Protein backbone atom coordinates (compact mmCIF):
# COMPACT_ATOMS: atom_id res chain seq x y z
CA UNK A 1 0.00 0.00 0.00
CA UNK A 2 1.28 3.47 -0.84
CA UNK A 3 1.96 5.67 2.13
CA UNK A 4 3.13 9.25 2.27
CA UNK A 5 5.34 9.95 5.24
CA UNK A 6 6.77 13.00 6.93
CA UNK A 7 8.85 12.86 10.05
CA UNK A 8 10.71 15.17 12.36
CA UNK A 9 13.92 14.59 14.24
CA UNK A 10 13.35 12.77 17.50
CA UNK A 11 16.08 14.95 18.94
CA UNK A 12 14.60 18.30 17.94
CA UNK A 13 14.48 19.38 21.58
CA UNK A 14 18.21 18.78 22.02
CA UNK A 15 20.66 21.60 21.63
CA UNK A 16 23.64 19.48 20.56
CA UNK A 17 22.79 15.81 20.16
CA UNK A 18 21.38 14.73 16.80
CA UNK A 19 20.28 11.31 15.59
CA UNK A 20 23.83 9.98 15.89
CA UNK A 21 25.71 12.01 18.48
CA UNK A 22 27.10 15.44 17.70
CA UNK A 23 28.40 16.14 14.19
CA UNK A 24 29.40 19.11 12.06
CA UNK A 25 32.15 20.98 10.26
CA UNK A 26 35.45 21.18 12.12
CA UNK A 27 36.03 24.68 13.47
CA UNK A 28 32.35 25.63 13.33
CA UNK A 29 30.29 25.41 16.50
CA UNK A 30 29.91 22.98 18.12
CA UNK A 31 32.78 21.00 16.54
CA UNK A 32 35.53 23.14 18.05
CA UNK A 33 38.39 22.24 20.36
CA UNK A 34 36.93 24.44 23.09
CA UNK A 35 33.50 22.80 22.98
CA UNK A 36 34.82 19.23 22.74
CA UNK A 37 37.04 19.89 25.76
CA UNK A 38 34.00 20.89 27.77
CA UNK A 39 31.99 18.00 26.31
CA UNK A 40 34.61 15.58 27.60
CA UNK A 41 34.39 17.21 31.02
CA UNK A 42 30.58 17.13 31.00
CA UNK A 43 30.54 13.45 30.03
CA UNK A 44 33.05 12.73 32.79
CA UNK A 45 31.00 14.56 35.41
CA UNK A 46 27.79 12.74 34.44
CA UNK A 47 29.49 9.35 34.40
CA UNK A 48 31.24 10.04 37.70
CA UNK A 49 27.82 10.29 39.36
CA UNK A 50 27.09 6.76 38.18
CA UNK A 51 30.19 5.37 39.84
CA UNK A 52 33.89 4.92 39.05
CA UNK A 53 34.87 3.50 35.68
CA UNK A 54 37.17 4.10 32.74
CA UNK A 55 36.13 5.57 29.40
CA UNK A 56 37.44 4.36 26.03
CA UNK A 57 38.24 6.78 23.20
CA UNK A 58 38.59 5.62 19.60
CA UNK A 59 38.62 7.53 16.34
CA UNK A 60 38.65 7.24 12.58
CA UNK A 61 41.49 8.51 10.40
CA UNK A 62 40.49 12.12 9.68
CA UNK A 63 43.14 14.66 10.62
CA UNK A 64 41.06 16.47 13.24
CA UNK A 65 40.87 13.25 15.26
CA UNK A 66 44.25 14.02 16.82
CA UNK A 67 43.01 17.34 18.16
CA UNK A 68 39.70 16.04 19.45
CA UNK A 69 41.27 12.96 21.03
CA UNK A 70 43.57 15.24 23.04
CA UNK A 71 40.89 17.62 24.25
CA UNK A 72 38.46 14.84 25.13
CA UNK A 73 41.22 13.21 27.15
CA UNK A 74 41.89 16.50 28.94
CA UNK A 75 38.22 17.11 29.68
CA UNK A 76 37.64 13.62 31.06
CA UNK A 77 40.78 13.84 33.16
CA UNK A 78 39.64 17.19 34.58
CA UNK A 79 36.43 15.47 35.67
CA UNK A 80 38.42 12.73 37.40
CA UNK A 81 37.77 9.91 34.91
CA UNK A 82 40.44 7.49 33.61
CA UNK A 83 40.84 7.12 29.85
CA UNK A 84 41.91 4.22 27.65
CA UNK A 85 42.97 5.30 24.15
CA UNK A 86 42.30 2.91 21.28
CA UNK A 87 43.61 4.93 18.34
CA UNK A 88 42.02 4.45 14.90
CA UNK A 89 39.29 1.81 15.25
CA UNK A 90 35.95 1.14 13.55
CA UNK A 91 32.90 2.40 15.41
CA UNK A 92 31.55 -1.13 16.05
CA UNK A 93 34.96 -2.14 17.41
CA UNK A 94 34.70 0.60 20.01
CA UNK A 95 31.24 -0.66 20.98
CA UNK A 96 32.63 -4.19 21.35
CA UNK A 97 35.70 -3.14 23.35
CA UNK A 98 33.64 -0.90 25.62
CA UNK A 99 31.66 -3.96 26.59
CA UNK A 100 34.49 -6.49 26.87
CA UNK A 101 36.92 -4.17 28.66
CA UNK A 102 34.17 -3.37 31.19
CA UNK A 103 34.41 0.36 30.51
CA UNK A 104 31.76 2.75 31.73
CA UNK A 105 31.39 4.27 28.27
CA UNK A 106 33.01 4.43 24.85
CA UNK A 107 33.54 7.59 22.83
CA UNK A 108 33.89 7.56 19.04
CA UNK A 109 35.50 10.50 17.24
CA UNK A 110 34.10 10.18 13.73
CA UNK A 111 31.82 11.73 11.15
CA UNK A 112 31.21 8.30 9.61
CA UNK A 113 30.69 8.64 5.84
CA UNK A 114 31.18 12.44 5.76
CA UNK A 115 34.24 14.16 4.19
CA UNK A 116 37.43 14.78 6.19
CA UNK A 117 36.50 18.38 7.05
CA UNK A 118 33.58 17.18 9.19
CA UNK A 119 33.88 15.36 12.47
CA UNK A 120 31.67 14.27 15.31
CA UNK A 121 31.41 12.61 18.68
CA UNK A 122 29.16 9.68 19.54
CA UNK A 123 28.92 7.51 22.59
CA UNK A 124 28.36 3.93 23.66
CA UNK A 125 27.10 2.75 27.02
CA UNK A 126 28.81 0.06 29.10
CA UNK A 127 26.69 -2.50 27.23
CA UNK A 128 28.03 -1.36 23.85
CA UNK A 129 24.74 0.28 22.87
CA UNK A 130 23.82 3.92 22.26
CA UNK A 131 23.62 6.11 25.36
CA UNK A 132 20.14 6.26 26.91
CA UNK A 133 18.21 9.49 26.32
CA UNK A 134 18.40 10.47 29.98
CA UNK A 135 22.21 10.37 29.91
CA UNK A 136 22.34 12.54 26.78
CA UNK A 137 19.99 15.02 28.43
CA UNK A 138 22.12 15.03 31.58
CA UNK A 139 25.25 15.73 29.50
CA UNK A 140 23.54 18.68 27.79
CA UNK A 141 22.51 20.05 31.18
CA UNK A 142 26.07 19.65 32.49
CA UNK A 143 27.40 21.59 29.49
CA UNK A 144 25.55 24.64 30.77
CA UNK A 145 27.57 24.57 34.00
CA UNK A 146 30.96 26.28 34.44
CA UNK A 147 33.86 23.90 33.91
CA UNK A 148 35.83 22.93 37.00
CA UNK A 149 38.78 20.64 37.68
CA UNK A 150 39.02 18.01 40.40
CA UNK A 151 41.89 18.03 42.88
CA UNK A 152 45.21 16.99 41.32
CA UNK A 153 45.23 13.73 43.26
CA UNK A 154 41.89 12.82 41.66
CA UNK A 155 42.70 13.64 38.02
CA UNK A 156 42.02 10.88 35.52
CA UNK A 157 44.92 8.90 34.04
CA UNK A 158 45.31 7.87 30.40
CA UNK A 159 46.74 4.65 28.95
CA UNK A 160 46.87 3.31 25.39
CA UNK A 161 45.43 -0.11 24.50
CA UNK A 162 48.03 -1.40 22.05
CA UNK A 163 46.36 -4.72 21.20
CA UNK A 164 42.93 -3.29 20.33
CA UNK A 165 43.08 -4.20 16.58
CA UNK A 166 44.01 -7.81 17.29
CA UNK A 167 41.25 -8.19 19.85
CA UNK A 168 38.67 -6.97 17.37
CA UNK A 169 39.95 -9.08 14.47
CA UNK A 170 39.52 -12.21 16.60
CA UNK A 171 36.02 -11.11 17.61
CA UNK A 172 34.96 -10.62 13.98
CA UNK A 173 36.23 -14.08 13.07
CA UNK A 174 34.34 -15.58 15.99
CA UNK A 175 30.99 -14.42 14.56
CA UNK A 176 31.05 -17.11 11.86
CA UNK A 177 31.11 -20.87 12.38
CA UNK A 178 34.51 -22.39 13.06
CA UNK A 179 34.15 -24.58 9.96
CA UNK A 180 33.71 -21.54 7.70
CA UNK A 181 36.66 -20.97 5.38
CA UNK A 182 36.95 -18.62 2.44
CA UNK A 183 39.74 -20.57 0.75
CA UNK A 184 39.57 -20.08 -3.00
CA UNK A 185 37.70 -16.77 -2.84
CA UNK A 186 39.27 -13.64 -4.27
CA UNK A 187 37.89 -10.54 -2.57
CA UNK A 188 38.51 -6.83 -3.12
CA UNK A 189 38.18 -4.89 0.15
CA UNK A 190 37.81 -1.09 0.05
CA UNK A 191 38.37 0.44 3.49
CA UNK A 192 37.62 4.05 2.42
CA UNK A 193 40.99 5.17 3.84
CA UNK A 194 39.15 4.98 7.13
CA UNK A 195 39.18 3.31 10.50
CA UNK A 196 39.09 -0.29 9.25
CA UNK A 197 42.16 0.01 7.01
CA UNK A 198 44.33 -2.11 9.31
CA UNK A 199 41.59 -4.54 10.34
CA UNK A 200 39.16 -5.56 7.57
CA UNK A 201 41.72 -7.01 5.11
CA UNK A 202 43.26 -9.10 7.89
CA UNK A 203 39.89 -10.55 8.93
CA UNK A 204 39.21 -11.95 5.48
CA UNK A 205 42.81 -13.04 4.90
CA UNK A 206 42.90 -14.95 8.17
CA UNK A 207 39.72 -16.76 7.12
CA UNK A 208 41.44 -17.96 3.95
CA UNK A 209 40.49 -15.46 1.25
CA UNK A 210 42.85 -13.90 -1.24
CA UNK A 211 42.42 -10.18 -0.54
CA UNK A 212 43.11 -7.22 -2.79
CA UNK A 213 42.93 -4.20 -0.50
CA UNK A 214 42.28 -0.62 -1.59
CA UNK A 215 41.55 2.51 0.41
CA UNK A 216 44.13 1.47 3.00
CA UNK A 217 46.45 4.49 2.88
CA UNK A 218 44.83 7.12 5.09
CA UNK A 219 46.53 10.51 5.24
CA UNK A 220 43.96 12.39 7.32
CA UNK A 221 42.40 14.06 4.29
CA UNK A 222 41.35 11.19 2.00
CA UNK A 223 38.81 9.40 4.21
CA UNK A 224 35.68 8.60 2.11
CA UNK A 225 37.24 10.51 -0.81
CA UNK A 226 35.90 8.86 -3.97
CA UNK A 227 36.20 5.46 -2.33
CA UNK A 228 34.42 3.18 0.13
CA UNK A 229 30.72 2.55 0.61
CA UNK A 230 29.80 6.07 -0.54
CA UNK A 231 31.53 5.56 -3.92
CA UNK A 232 31.09 1.87 -4.79
CA UNK A 233 31.96 2.50 -8.45
CA UNK A 234 35.67 2.32 -7.49
CA UNK A 235 35.11 -1.11 -5.93
CA UNK A 236 33.14 -2.24 -8.98
CA UNK A 237 36.02 -1.29 -11.28
CA UNK A 238 38.55 -3.20 -9.17
CA UNK A 239 36.35 -6.31 -8.90
CA UNK A 240 36.04 -6.48 -12.68
CA UNK A 241 39.73 -5.68 -13.25
CA UNK A 242 40.90 -8.31 -10.74
CA UNK A 243 38.28 -10.86 -11.87
CA UNK A 244 37.41 -11.18 -8.19
CA UNK A 245 34.54 -13.22 -6.77
CA UNK A 246 33.17 -10.18 -4.97
CA UNK A 247 34.01 -6.83 -3.42
CA UNK A 248 33.38 -5.29 -0.02
CA UNK A 249 33.27 -1.51 0.54
CA UNK A 250 33.17 -0.04 4.03
CA UNK A 251 32.63 3.57 5.02
CA UNK A 252 35.04 5.72 6.99
CA UNK A 253 34.13 4.36 10.41
CA UNK A 254 33.37 0.81 9.30
CA UNK A 255 29.75 0.56 10.43
CA UNK A 256 28.21 0.19 6.98
CA UNK A 257 28.97 -1.94 3.94
CA UNK A 258 28.10 -2.09 0.25
CA UNK A 259 29.09 -5.13 -1.83
CA UNK A 260 29.75 -5.88 -5.50
CA UNK A 261 29.27 -9.26 -7.15
CA UNK A 262 31.58 -10.85 -9.74
CA UNK A 263 29.51 -9.37 -12.58
CA UNK A 264 29.97 -5.83 -11.29
CA UNK A 265 26.49 -5.40 -9.82
CA UNK A 266 26.34 -3.19 -6.73
CA UNK A 267 24.38 -4.61 -3.78
CA UNK A 268 23.06 -2.14 -1.20
CA UNK A 269 21.81 -2.76 2.32
CA UNK A 270 18.36 -3.95 1.25
CA UNK A 271 19.86 -6.72 -0.86
CA UNK A 272 22.31 -7.73 1.88
CA UNK A 273 19.53 -7.90 4.47
CA UNK A 274 17.51 -10.08 2.11
CA UNK A 275 20.44 -12.46 1.55
CA UNK A 276 21.13 -12.80 5.28
CA UNK A 277 17.45 -13.36 6.11
CA UNK A 278 16.99 -15.94 3.33
CA UNK A 279 20.15 -17.81 4.37
CA UNK A 280 19.17 -17.93 8.02
CA UNK A 281 15.69 -19.12 7.17
CA UNK A 282 17.00 -21.92 4.97
CA UNK A 283 19.49 -22.91 7.67
CA UNK A 284 16.72 -23.03 10.27
CA UNK A 285 18.33 -20.20 12.25
CA UNK A 286 15.80 -17.43 11.63
CA UNK A 287 13.17 -16.45 14.17
CA UNK A 288 10.92 -13.40 14.14
CA UNK A 289 11.20 -10.83 11.39
CA UNK A 290 13.24 -8.00 9.88
CA UNK A 291 13.25 -4.31 10.84
CA UNK A 292 13.79 -1.83 8.03
CA UNK A 293 13.31 1.90 7.81
CA UNK A 294 11.10 4.26 5.85
CA UNK A 295 13.88 4.27 3.24
CA UNK A 296 13.85 0.48 2.73
CA UNK A 297 12.77 -0.48 -0.78
CA UNK A 298 9.22 -1.73 -1.26
CA UNK A 299 10.71 -4.66 -3.15
CA UNK A 300 12.45 -5.86 0.02
CA UNK A 301 9.18 -5.84 1.90
CA UNK A 302 7.48 -7.86 -0.84
CA UNK A 303 10.37 -10.35 -1.17
CA UNK A 304 10.41 -11.03 2.56
CA UNK A 305 6.64 -11.46 2.51
CA UNK A 306 7.05 -14.23 -0.09
CA UNK A 307 9.39 -15.96 2.38
CA UNK A 308 6.77 -15.50 5.13
CA UNK A 309 9.14 -13.23 7.02
CA UNK A 310 7.58 -10.31 8.88
CA UNK A 311 8.83 -6.82 8.06
CA UNK A 312 8.31 -3.55 9.94
CA UNK A 313 9.52 -0.01 9.22
CA UNK A 314 10.91 2.54 11.67
CA UNK A 315 12.37 6.06 11.20
CA UNK A 316 15.88 6.30 9.72
CA UNK A 317 18.71 5.59 12.15
CA UNK A 318 20.21 2.56 13.85
CA UNK A 319 18.90 3.76 17.22
CA UNK A 320 15.34 3.17 16.00
CA UNK A 321 16.19 -0.16 14.38
CA UNK A 322 17.89 -1.51 17.50
CA UNK A 323 15.06 -0.32 19.75
CA UNK A 324 12.47 -2.09 17.60
CA UNK A 325 14.56 -5.27 17.38
CA UNK A 326 14.96 -5.43 21.13
CA UNK A 327 11.29 -4.73 21.75
CA UNK A 328 10.24 -7.52 19.39
CA UNK A 329 13.12 -9.84 20.36
CA UNK A 330 14.21 -10.02 16.71
CA UNK A 331 17.84 -10.02 15.57
CA UNK A 332 18.10 -8.60 12.02
CA UNK A 333 17.51 -5.11 10.68
CA UNK A 334 19.09 -2.62 8.34
CA UNK A 335 19.03 0.34 5.99
CA UNK A 336 19.69 0.67 2.24
CA UNK A 337 22.84 2.63 3.13
CA UNK A 338 24.43 -0.63 4.25
CA UNK A 339 24.03 -0.02 7.97
CA UNK A 340 22.92 -3.49 9.08
CA UNK A 341 22.29 -4.80 12.60
CA UNK A 342 22.86 -8.46 13.48
CA UNK A 343 22.01 -8.49 17.18
CA UNK A 344 22.95 -12.12 17.60
CA UNK A 345 26.56 -11.11 16.81
CA UNK A 346 27.01 -7.54 17.97
CA UNK A 347 25.22 -4.55 19.47
CA UNK A 348 25.48 -2.07 16.60
CA UNK A 349 25.89 -1.81 12.84
CA UNK A 350 29.10 -3.49 11.69
CA UNK A 351 30.27 -3.57 8.08
CA UNK A 352 32.81 -6.36 8.56
CA UNK A 353 30.40 -8.64 10.42
CA UNK A 354 27.65 -8.01 7.87
CA UNK A 355 30.02 -8.98 5.05
CA UNK A 356 30.98 -12.13 6.96
CA UNK A 357 27.29 -13.07 7.23
CA UNK A 358 26.86 -12.66 3.46
CA UNK A 359 29.98 -14.73 2.74
CA UNK A 360 28.69 -17.43 5.09
CA UNK A 361 25.44 -17.45 3.08
CA UNK A 362 27.46 -17.93 -0.11
CA UNK A 363 29.24 -20.90 1.39
CA UNK A 364 26.10 -22.45 2.86
CA UNK A 365 24.01 -22.12 -0.30
CA UNK A 366 26.94 -22.82 -2.63
CA UNK A 367 25.97 -19.93 -4.86
CA UNK A 368 27.85 -16.84 -6.10
CA UNK A 369 26.79 -13.47 -4.74
CA UNK A 370 25.11 -12.63 -8.06
CA UNK A 371 22.57 -15.43 -7.50
CA UNK A 372 21.92 -14.96 -3.80
CA UNK A 373 19.79 -11.87 -4.40
CA UNK A 374 17.40 -13.76 -6.72
CA UNK A 375 13.86 -13.32 -5.45
CA UNK A 376 14.28 -9.61 -4.67
CA UNK A 377 13.00 -7.15 -7.27
CA UNK A 378 13.77 -3.60 -6.23
CA UNK A 379 11.52 -0.75 -7.29
CA UNK A 380 13.09 2.35 -8.86
CA UNK A 381 13.71 4.79 -6.02
CA UNK A 382 14.77 8.42 -6.38
CA UNK A 383 16.14 10.51 -3.52
CA UNK A 384 16.50 14.30 -3.83
CA UNK A 385 18.10 16.39 -1.08
CA UNK A 386 16.80 19.94 -0.64
CA UNK A 387 18.80 22.45 1.39
CA UNK A 388 16.48 24.42 3.65
CA UNK A 389 16.63 27.29 6.08
CA UNK A 390 13.33 26.66 7.84
CA UNK A 391 13.32 23.32 9.70
CA UNK A 392 9.70 23.65 10.76
CA UNK A 393 7.27 20.74 10.97
CA UNK A 394 6.59 19.63 7.40
CA UNK A 395 3.08 18.59 8.37
CA UNK A 396 2.27 22.28 8.95
CA UNK A 397 2.99 23.24 5.32
CA UNK A 398 -0.26 22.98 3.25
CA UNK A 399 1.44 23.26 -0.16
CA UNK A 400 3.86 20.46 0.69
CA UNK A 401 1.09 18.27 2.08
CA UNK A 402 -1.06 18.81 -1.03
CA UNK A 403 1.87 17.79 -3.27
CA UNK A 404 2.41 14.69 -1.13
CA UNK A 405 -1.23 13.65 -1.42
CA UNK A 406 -1.24 14.15 -5.19
CA UNK A 407 1.87 11.98 -5.57
CA UNK A 408 0.32 9.32 -3.34
CA UNK A 409 -2.88 9.23 -5.40
CA UNK A 410 -0.96 8.89 -8.65
CA UNK A 411 1.28 6.04 -7.42
CA UNK A 412 -1.63 4.10 -5.98
CA UNK A 413 -0.74 0.75 -4.42
CA UNK A 414 2.58 0.34 -6.22
CA UNK A 415 4.77 3.01 -4.69
CA UNK A 416 5.74 5.16 -1.74
CA UNK A 417 6.51 8.80 -1.01
CA UNK A 418 8.64 10.03 1.86
CA UNK A 419 9.63 13.48 3.10
CA UNK A 420 12.22 13.34 5.84
CA UNK A 421 14.21 15.96 7.69
CA UNK A 422 17.89 15.07 8.04
CA UNK A 423 19.07 14.54 11.59
CA UNK A 424 22.57 15.86 10.86
CA UNK A 425 22.20 18.53 8.15
CA UNK A 426 19.82 21.35 7.15
CA UNK A 427 18.21 19.17 4.51
CA UNK A 428 14.83 17.75 3.62
CA UNK A 429 15.15 14.39 1.87
CA UNK A 430 12.52 13.71 -0.79
CA UNK A 431 12.10 10.06 -1.76
CA UNK A 432 9.71 8.63 -4.35
CA UNK A 433 9.48 4.95 -5.23
CA UNK A 434 7.38 3.20 -7.86
CA UNK A 435 7.28 0.92 -10.89
CA UNK A 436 7.95 3.52 -13.63
CA UNK A 437 11.48 4.93 -13.22
CA UNK A 438 10.82 7.92 -15.50
CA UNK A 439 7.68 9.00 -13.70
CA UNK A 440 9.22 8.35 -10.29
CA UNK A 441 12.06 10.72 -11.18
CA UNK A 442 9.59 13.36 -12.39
CA UNK A 443 7.50 13.10 -9.21
CA UNK A 444 10.57 13.35 -6.99
CA UNK A 445 11.77 16.48 -8.76
CA UNK A 446 8.30 18.03 -8.75
CA UNK A 447 7.93 17.43 -5.03
CA UNK A 448 11.45 18.74 -4.40
CA UNK A 449 10.55 21.91 -6.29
CA UNK A 450 7.56 22.46 -3.98
CA UNK A 451 9.78 21.98 -0.91
CA UNK A 452 12.36 24.40 -2.35
CA UNK A 453 9.74 27.05 -3.00
CA UNK A 454 8.35 26.72 0.52
CA UNK A 455 11.48 26.17 2.63
CA UNK A 456 14.67 26.55 0.59
CA UNK A 457 17.64 28.74 1.50
Mean pLDDT, residues 222-249 taken together: 98
pLDDT digits (tens, 9 = 90+) for 252-299: 999 999 999 999 999 999 999 999 999 999 999 898 999 999 999 999
Instruction: Judge if 301 and 350 occupy the same domain.
Output: yes
User: Are residues 230 and 313 both part of a single domain?
Assistant: no
pLDDT for 4 equals: 42
Last residue of one domain, picked from the residues 204, 236, 266: 266
Distances (CA, A) of 404 to 133, 315, 389, 424, 450: 32, 18, 20, 23, 10
In a domain, residue 416? The reply is: yes
CATH value at residue 251: 3.40.120.10
364 burial via Cβ count (<10 Å: 0-12, 13-18, 19+): middle
C-alpha to C-alpha distance for 119 and 65, rounded to whole angstroms? 8
Last residue in a domain, options 232, 266, 300: 266
Q: How far is 455 from 187, CA to CA, in rounded Å?
A: 46
Tell me if 172 is assigned to some domain. no
Number of domains in the chain: 4
Is there a single domain that holds both residue 365 and residue 273? yes
Is 184 inside a domain boundary?
yes
Average pLDDT, the chain: 92
Lowest mean pLDDT among 20-24, 164-168, 189-193, 195-199: 20-24
The answer for 325, left when phi > 0, alpha when psi is -120 to 50, beta otherwise, is alpha
The CATH number linked to 446 is 3.30.310.50
243 lies in the same domain as 328: no
In this predicted structure, what is the pLDDT of residue 1? 39
Q: Which domain holds residue 308?
A: 268-378
Give me the mean pLDDT over the 428-457 stretch: 90
Residues 257, 274, single domain; the answer is: no
Specify whether 121 is located in the same domain as 71: yes
Strand 381-387 and strand 427-434: pairing? antiparallel
Catalytic annotation on 8? no
Residue 5 has pLDDT above 50, yes or no: no
CA 359 to chain centre: 20
Q: Where does 197-322 show beta strands of DSSP type E?
A: 210-214, 246-250, 257-261, 266-267, 289-293, 310-314
DSSP 3-state assignment of 120? strand
One domain for residues 65 and 102: yes
Say yes or no: 157 and 51 in one domain. yes
Are the C-beta atoms of 187 and 248 separated by less than 8 Å?
A: yes
User: Which whole-number Å values give the CA distances from 275 to 54, 103, 244, 314, 375, in the listed order?
Assistant: 39, 35, 20, 20, 10
158-160 and 186-190 as β-strands: parallel, antiparallel, unpaired? unpaired
The whole-model pTM stands at 0.90
Domain co-membership, 280 together with 345: yes
Do 156 and 193 fall into the same domain?
no
**Euclidean distance between CA atoms 124 and 139, whole angstroms:** 14
112, 125, 129, 360: the active-site residue? 112
The Cα 224–Cα 193 span in angstroms is 7
User: CA 70 to CA 269: how far, in whole Å?
Assistant: 35
Q: Other C-beta atoms within 10 Å of 1: how many?
A: 8
Q: What is the pLDDT of residues 137-186, one digit of tens each?
A: 999 999 999 999 999 999 999 999 999 999 999 999 999 998 889 999 99
Asked if residue 170 is part of any domain, the answer here is no
Q: What's the rounded mean pLDDT across residues 374-391? A: 89
Amino acid sequence: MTKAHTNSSANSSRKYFGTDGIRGRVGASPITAEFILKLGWAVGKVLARKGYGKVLIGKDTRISGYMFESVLEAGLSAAGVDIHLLGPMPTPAIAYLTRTLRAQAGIVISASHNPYYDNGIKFFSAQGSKLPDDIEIAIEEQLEMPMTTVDSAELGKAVRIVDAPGRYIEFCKSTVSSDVSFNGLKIVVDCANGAAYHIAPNVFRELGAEVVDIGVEPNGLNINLECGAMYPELLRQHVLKEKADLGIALDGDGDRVIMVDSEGNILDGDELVYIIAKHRQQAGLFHGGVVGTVMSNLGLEQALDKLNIDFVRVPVGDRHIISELMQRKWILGGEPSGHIICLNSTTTGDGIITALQVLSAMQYMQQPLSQLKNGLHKYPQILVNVKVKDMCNLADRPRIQDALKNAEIELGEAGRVLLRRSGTEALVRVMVEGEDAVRVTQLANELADVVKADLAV
